[in-house]
Amino acid sequence: MVSNGFIMKKRSRNSIKEHIERLTQIGIALSSTKDVNEFFTLILSEAISYTNADAGTLYLTSSDKKSLEFQVIYNGTMHIPMKVIDKSYGWKPVNLYVEEEKNLKNMVSYVYHTKSPMMIEDVYFQDLFDSSGTKAYDAANGYRSKSMLAIPMKNHEDAVLGVIQLINAMDDDGKVIAFDAQGSSHLMSLTSQAGILLTNRQLIDGLETLLQDFLRSIAKAIEHDSKYTSGHISRVARLTEMLADTMNNDDEYYPDVHFTEDELKEISMAGWMHDIGKITTPPHIRDKSKKLETIIDRITIVKARHQAIKLGLKLKHTRGELDDVSYLAELKKLNDAMAFIQTSNAGGEFITPEAKARLEEIHKNRYQFDDETISLIDENELRNLQIPKGTLLPEEREKIQEHAKVTWEMLSSITFPAKYHNVPLFAASHHEQLSGKGYPFGLKNSQIPLKARIIAVADIFEALSAKDRPYRAQSTLSQALRIMTFFVKDYSIDKDIFFLFLDSGLYMEYARKFMDPEQIDDVNIDAVKAACQPGK
Ligand SMILES: [Fe+2]
Ligand SMILES: [Fe+2]
């Protein structure tokens, strides 16, 4: 007997109550299940247990909506436990169309197209569907498929997300019987509940993915735009994730820290977002690698001036305005000054008070050619060359530091999902220092969230170990770790996070992934840790 749909029997008040209770329970279980495979396994288990079926399959509609793919299977008699079928099984999906026509000869495909449940008392004795495949399978496996029930899994828009097929309902003695309408009705309630939950989840996941992809693409754009710090944000994000994972499994420094999956995602997202404010930092400041650099390195202008002065001196000599001795002395003085400027222009050069005075003197030295007075370096170039450490003028440093505040402003204007609402704070606090001397908020000690401190350690270590910074010589692993000890000692970064980084061996794991082999030298961890003690 073939029965399309089912007839609602008049059920007792008690069974309806039980039915609702069971649905409520399964609804709660389904909505709290994070893993999507667990979700489907739970649905099939409930379907099998409620109908006392011997076997069952949960199919999912393929993304191109052309087939139904195996997702979860179970067969009691054949001792096949409930298991998820992934692509590695190579099982052929059920085609929903045959030569562009709806495939109505297959039971699950039929249910997909009609969007209604279908029951069969004995699959061998019906002519609606092609049972040759079932018979062949049974013959090969010593099984006898008899009663069948297939239910569509629909969402609120009536789209079929998948189909559940159950085989051989059994009575209490294990005898195969027909499925009944009550089971079918229960399963329809179950599958529609599951369909809606699944769609909601897909929508939420979709929005989360969209948000993450969008923010990451901005981070990538900033990286792309920066000629020297490409990869900085991705590497910091990766190291942040690695540190958070390590902290989660650590019993020594952080025995009480147990980040949830959502928290780990939140930390990762904050890592990706930490420098998003750099989008407003002018590239010539962000990438200023020489003291004289603006849009171009102005050393080229100084060099041109040097050549012009040289020609002027030569002309004066030819005209007899300068004698041989004075000409050679002037030439030497000029060349020495040029060489000194070139050395001073390097980002790593520390400008001593003596060097500062010498540059001042070079600037004051004027050359007179006809009606033109010329100096090797002008006022602005002098000021830049006199930058004592690094390449940045105070106002440029301020502009760069502004990025943390901009990160905060940009991210706090986005409505993050509630579970990620702290992403703006964690991301924007990566330049805060335990001493309170950091920025943009000037937070101190425990005011700085642990998740922001993780990013701070990752950010500094990446900057010290990166191979592409133009303003300093490339550090080896041991040198980078040694410099980190100064940050610990002056109370900038969290010592425990740094020690965890060392003791867990994460520093080496990171180095092997992201540093050049020639940067990786021997590291004495005990010595690095000892150097973190005050007074060392
Ligand atoms: Fe930053
Ligand atoms: Fe950074």
Higher pLDDT, 372 or 366: 366
**Which ligand has the shortest distance to the CA of 464?**
2
Residue 469's alpha-carbon distances to 118, 282, 390, 511, in angstroms, are 67, 17, 12, 16
Higher pLDDT, 472 or 251: 251
pLDDT in tens, 63-76: 999 999 999 999 99
Using an 8 Å Cβ cutoff, are 283 and 226 in contact?
Answer: yes
The Å distance, Cα 273 to ligand 1 centre, comes to 10
The Å distance, Cα 403 to ligand 1 centre, comes to 7
At residue 3, the pLDDT reads 36
H or E element in which residue 83 lies: strand 80-84
The Å distance, Cα 218 to ligand 2 centre, comes to 14
Q: Give the largest Cα separation in the chain, rounded.
A: 125
**Which ligand has the shortest distance to the CA of 462?**
2
At residue 14, the pLDDT reads 44
Residue 20's alpha-carbon distances to 150, 185, 197, in angstroms, are 21, 12, 17
Residue 69 DSSP SS3: strand
Q: Among residues 428, 390, 381, which one has the least CA distance to residue 408? A: 428
Question: Per the omega criterion (within 30 degrees of 0), is the bond before 417 cis?
Answer: no
User: Which burial class, exposed, middle or buried, applies to 260 when counting CB atoms under 10 A from its CB (0-12, 13-18, 19+)?
Assistant: exposed
Q: Among residues 318, 382, 389, which one has the least CA distance to residue 347? A: 389
Q: Which residue has the tokens 């520390």?
A: 350
489, pLDDT greater than 70: yes
Whether the CA torsion 521, 525, 526, 529 is positive or negative: it is: positive
pLDDT in tens, 498-526: 999 999 999 999 999 999 999 999 999 99
Buried b (16+ CB within 10 A) or exposed e, 501-527: bbebebbeebbeebbeeebeeebeeee
**Which ligand has the shortest distance to the CA of 278?**
1
SS3 content of the chain, % helix, strand, coil (to 5): 55, 10, 35
Using an 8 Å Cβ cutoff, are 386 and 356 in contact?
Answer: yes
Q: Which residue has the tokens 């220092």?
A: 433
Whether the CA torsion 212, 216, 218, 219 is positive or negative: it is: positive
Measured CA angle at 147 (ends 146, 151), to 5 deg: 135
Residue 532 DSSP SS3: coil
Rounded CA-CA distance 71/60 in Å is 6
Rounded CA-CA distance 362/201 in Å is 69
Rounded CA-CA distance 476/496 in Å is 23
pLDDT in tens, 18-77: 667 777 777 777 777 777 888 889 889 888 988 899 999 999 999 999 999 999 999 999
The Å distance, Cα 271 to ligand 2 centre, comes to 9
pLDDT in tens, 443-484: 999 999 999 999 999 999 999 998 766 655 678 999 999 999
Using an 8 Å Cβ cutoff, are 166 and 56 in contact?
Answer: yes
At residue 6, the pLDDT reads 31
The Å distance, Cα 121 to ligand 2 centre, comes to 66
The Å distance, Cα 485 to ligand 1 centre, comes to 19
At residue 42, the pLDDT reads 86
DSSP tag of 7: P
Helix axes 232-248, 261-273, angle to 10 degrees: 160
pLDDT in tens, 283-304: 888 888 888 887 788 998 899 8
The Å distance, Cα 505 to ligand 2 centre, comes to 23
Measured CA angle at 193 (ends 188, 199), to 5 deg: 125
Using an 8 Å Cβ cutoff, are 100 and 108 in contact?
Answer: no
Which residues have a beta carbon within 5 Å of ligand 1, which is an ion?
275
Phi–psi pair at 289, nearest 5 degrees: -105, -15
350, pLDDT greater than 90: no
Residue 534 DSSP SS3: coil
Q: Of 206-210, 273-277, 515-519, where does mean pLDDT reach its minimum?
A: 206-210
Q: How many residues does the chain have?
A: 536
The Å distance, Cα 233 to ligand 2 centre, comes to 6
403, pLDDT greater than 60: yes
Rounded CA-CA distance 375/366 in Å is 5
At residue 60, the pLDDT reads 93
Tokens, residue 151? 């239910």
The Å distance, Cα 427 to ligand 1 centre, comes to 9
At residue 97, the pLDDT reads 97
Higher pLDDT, 256 or 7: 256
**Which ligand has the shortest distance to the CA of 455?**
2
Strands, E, within 126-188: which ranges? Answer: 148-154, 160-170, 176-177
At residue 371, the pLDDT reads 83
At residue 422, the pLDDT reads 96
Average pLDDT, the chain: 89
Residue 147's alpha-carbon distances to 56, 152, 168, 170, 188, in angstroms, are 12, 17, 5, 9, 18
The Å distance, Cα 404 to ligand 1 centre, comes to 6
The Å distance, Cα 443 to ligand 1 centre, comes to 16
Using an 8 Å Cβ cutoff, are 236 and 431 in contact?
Answer: no
Residue 535 DSSP SS3: coil
At residue 19, the pLDDT reads 65
Rounded CA-CA distance 189/436 in Å is 58
The Å distance, Cα 480 to ligand 1 centre, comes to 18
At residue 194, the pLDDT reads 82
The Å distance, Cα 236 to ligand 1 centre, comes to 10
pLDDT in tens, 84-138: 998 788 889 999 999 999 999 999 999 999 999 999 999 999 999 999 999 999 9
The Å distance, Cα 502 to ligand 1 centre, comes to 23
